[in-house]
Amino acid sequence: MKTKNTYQKLFSPQSIAIVGASNKKGKIGTIIAENISKLGYKGKTYLINPAYKFLGFKRCYPSLSAVKKEIDVAIICVPAKFVLGVVKEGMQNVKNFVIISAGFSEIGAEGAKREQELIALAKKNNLNILGPNCLGFINPIVNLNASFAAGMPKAGNVAFVSQSGALIVGLLDKAKEEHMGFSNVISIGNQMQVDEADILEYLAEDKETKVIGMYLEGIKDGSRFLKVAKKVSQKKPIVILKAGKTEQAQKAISSHTGALAGSDEIVDVAFKSAGIIRADNLDDFFALLGLISFTDAPKNGQMAVITNAGGAGVLATDAFKNKEIALMEFSQKAKENFAKQLPSESSVHNPIDLLGDAGADRYQNILEMLKKENPGSTICILTPQQQTPVEEIAKIITSVKEKNKMSLAAVFIGGERIKNGVLHLKQNNIPNFSNPESCVRALDQYYRWSIFANEKTDEQKYAANADCKKIVSNIIKNAREQKRGALSFSEAANVMLEYGIDSGSFWIVSADGEKPEIKEFPVVAKIDSDKVLHKSDKQGVILNIKNSGELEEALKALGQNFPGEKVLVQPMQQKQVEIILGIKKDDIFGPVIVYGLGGIYTEIFHMADFLLPPMSEAEIKKQVLSGKIRFLFQGARGQKAYDAEEFSKIIKGIMDFALENSDIDGFDINPLFIYNDGRKASAVDIKIII
């Protein structure tokens, strides 16, 4: 079983072996051996290579078992075909391995077989294997560079985990310039056994780590990853730069909702549900890690901005649009005090304009006075005018932050003239942004994370309803046995009823069979066949049938167009609002519920949102009331509000249906009519593709 302790031994070992250690210039075995022995690691080191008795002055062993002592971790850098043998031979005295070697699942079937053999071995013998096909790891806290990246990064509080080894090297180089310090740098390679969720769990407990930054291309087990990430996010922030779109094998023809949900949007929703901060690009990623590494999360959502450049202040003001954080309103007293310290042309409203000729004193006085106003964070903007003492201002900002323990970020805008000032900020743990927009965006994301962490939401456990599951699976089984691709309307309506979703009254007839006794007109007649999924496109729907004569005509016409097919007759309901609701199957995260404005505007307005089951009804309602079609449930423009509670219950029903019937191929209700006059919502058309 994996324990905190075993990962501790893997990433912070007391002893380490390098299998394939060498002295030949430029070889990976040489570089790793040198990195471990020459950069200050104090633990015991063993070199393993049968070709040598000594490497330099250090003894070299022919194999891991020849060391005859327990070794915390072995770094393997021999060709892939020898790796299994090395692990087998060494596992008596080594339990943790890092496989640098390439030549595994990334090269195809032969490599995948090697991985399978290793996984089986690891499982049977309780081993932890990082990689293969990875760069190794670096633990700057103990001066251990067990990778073939050059040098030792500064020690600090950022843990960086990457699926790309090469990106680590680039990032570490940039980090030097940014004065960013690391607690761990881990290359996870193919994640054959130790995966990103395991690493998250380990880093959550690592006391040196304040923020976890991850570069991910794919996610191994989406639901486990989210479960772990959600727990970890409540302890410390996770910032993820996710590359690549999850490719969907979604059959867009079978459901409209499938086409509404882009896979990248699903990643957004999934990350949000787990409190993960998503970075849009490498610059953003760095900015977020720097901000979180250097400063505390905003204590509240009310921000103060001071600037010596009016224009930059305007840009900052604009940047608060659609954010959770806002520009705070200063108290009257504070504004009077600011005015006493500033020239009369200054603005004492937020952003406070110190004017272009501001010296360090104006920054200092205002920053000191701001303390009483208790802003969540303060943004200090500067542009370098001829008379601006950039470095002096940087020093003032640093000392006020230290003294008053403020959450603070700087936006020094410029190049050569601000270089030394920015250097001073970075050396003193003040995050600096090159523009107000990215500063406000990053603070907003940091603040949203802190809200998530404080909310401590319960884990949603889903309990399947066995009776309902049985009824529904019998209906689906029966249809499959008849080799049908979809359920009929009456079957689908019965399935939905099991989940509390009503479809109103209806009759199923055949064109040449008995006519139903219908007392109330108008009605609608539609073809009900798994072969005709898009009925309206194929003249399979006849609306507004006013009497039994017209009904007879309609049935005749449908019978001619679709011989032998059944016809569904429903009351013609007066529509108020049409909703579209469906399930999109995501390769990584499983079923995702999609809902939005239906009808002819579905594809045009893209007023759709996505929810990841399981969720409680209360959580669903909260999302519905803050989603894209919230206006319906808030009563827009004098309209009575639609029933958010009823709608959330329907979504909950579909979530349960999705979780209990994960083998269906597609699902949507299009349209669902909802009303604000007391009538019950009704699923007018339901497609369940099996």
CB of 586 to ligand COA, least distance (A): 28
Residues 6+ apart with CB under 8 A from 77: 18, 19, 20, 21, 28, 29, 32, 100, 101
Task: Pick the closer one to ligand COA by CB: 214 or 592.
Answer: 214
Task: Pick the closer one to ligand COA by CB: 19 or 509.
Answer: 19
Q: Which stretch binds ligand COA (CB under 6 A): 71-79, 475-483, 561-569, 665-673?
A: 71-79
Residue 106: CB atoms within 10 A of its CB come to: 13
Determine if 19 is a binding residue for ligand COA (CB under 6 A).
Answer: yes
CB of 33 to ligand COA, least distance (A): 10
Residues 6+ apart with CB under 8 A from 64: 17, 19, 46, 48, 71, 74, 86, 89, 90, 93, 94
CB 557 within 8 A of CB 501: no
Nearest C-alpha neighbor of 562 from the set 571, 550, 554, 570: 554
CB 169 within 8 A of CB 135: yes
Site string for ligand COA, 180-199 (x = CB under 6 A): -------x------------
- Of 12, 133, 250, 438, the residue at the interface with ligand COA (CB under 6 A) is 133
Task: Pick the closer one to ligand COA by CB: 40 or 85.
Answer: 85
Q: Which stretch binds ligand COA (CB under 6 A): 65-73, 74-82, 245-253, 285-293?
A: 74-82
Task: Pick the closer one to ligand COA by CB: 74 or 309.
Answer: 74
Number of residues that bind ligand COA (CB under 6 A): 25
Q: Which single residue brings its beta carbon nearest to ligand COA?
A: 165
- Of 75, 100, 180, 632, the residue at the interface with ligand COA (CB under 6 A) is 100
Q: Which two tokens stand for residue 507?
A: 């009759």
Determine if 429 is a binding residue for ligand COA (CB under 6 A).
Answer: no
- Of 43, 66, 103, 335, the residue at the interface with ligand COA (CB under 6 A) is 103
Q: Which residue has the tokens 């103060």?
A: 304
Task: Pick the closer one to ligand COA by CB: 29 or 627.
Answer: 29
In angstroms, the CA 226 to CA 360 distance is: 47
Q: Which two tokens stand for residue 463?
A: 């309990």
Q: Which stretch binds ligand COA (CB under 6 A): 18-26, 416-424, 479-487, 577-585?
A: 18-26
Interface positions, 78-97, toward ligand COA (CB under 6 A): 78-79, 82, 86
Q: How far apart are the first and last CA of the chain?
A: 39
> To the nearest 5 percent, what fractions of the chain are helix, strand and coil?
40, 20, 35
Q: Which two tokens stand for residue 134?
A: 């990875």
Backbone angles phi, psi at 191, to 5 degrees: 50, 45
Task: Pick the closer one to ligand COA by CB: 79 or 635.
Answer: 79
Q: Which stretch binds ligand COA (CB under 6 A): 112-120, 133-141, 212-220, 360-368?
A: 133-141
Amino acid at 333: K
Task: Pick the closer one to ligand COA by CB: 75 or 408.
Answer: 75
Task: Pick the closer one to ligand COA by CB: 48 or 683.
Answer: 48
CB 381 within 8 A of CB 305: yes
Interface positions, 24-53, toward ligand COA (CB under 6 A): 24, 27-29, 48-51
Three-class HEC string of 157-185: EEEEEECCHHHHHHHHHHHHHHCCCEEEE
In angstroms, the CA 136 to CA 99 distance is: 8
Could you list the residues that contact ligand COA (CB under 6 A)? 19-20, 22, 24, 27-29, 48-51, 77-79, 82, 86, 100-103, 133-135, 165, 187
